[in-house]
């Protein structure tokens, strides 16, 4: 399976937090306090960088992607 890293549904956790209207560390804080809120495969740490999917953000915030409004 080929993964398209240019897919806008894969983003840096800080950017995702801002898109959904939260502080830059929102995703990291949420993951640290409740990792089970994220669907499997929707968040991953690469080195020091957290990557999250649109699916993960929608799951933890309960808000559909604001970019699609």
Percent of the chain with pLDDT over 90: 94
Contacts of 30 by beta carbon, 8 Å cutoff, 6+ apart: 37, 38, 60
Residue 69's pLDDT is what?
A: 79
Predicted confidence (pLDDT) per residue in 9-51, tens digit = 999 999 999 999 999 999 999 999 999 999 999 999 999 999 9
Query: What is this structure's pTM?
Result: 0.93
DSSP 27: H
The burial class, CB within 10 Å (0-12 / 13-18 / 19+), for 12 is middle
Residue keyed to tokens 């937090």: 17
Domain boundaries, the chain: 10-68
Q: Determine the Cα–Cα distance for residues 44 and 53; give it in Å rounded to an integer.
A: 9
The burial class, CB within 10 Å (0-12 / 13-18 / 19+), for 1 is exposed
């Amino acid at each position: 399976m080929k993964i398209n890293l240019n897919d806008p549904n894969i983003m840096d956790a800080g950017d995702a937090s801002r898109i959904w209207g939260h502080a830059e560390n929102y995703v990291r804080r949420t993951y640290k306090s409740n990792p089970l809120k994220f669907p499997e495969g929707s968040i991953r740490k690469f080195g020091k960088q957290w990557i999250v999917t649109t699916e993960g953000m929608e799951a933890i915030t309960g808000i559909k992607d604001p970019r699609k409004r």
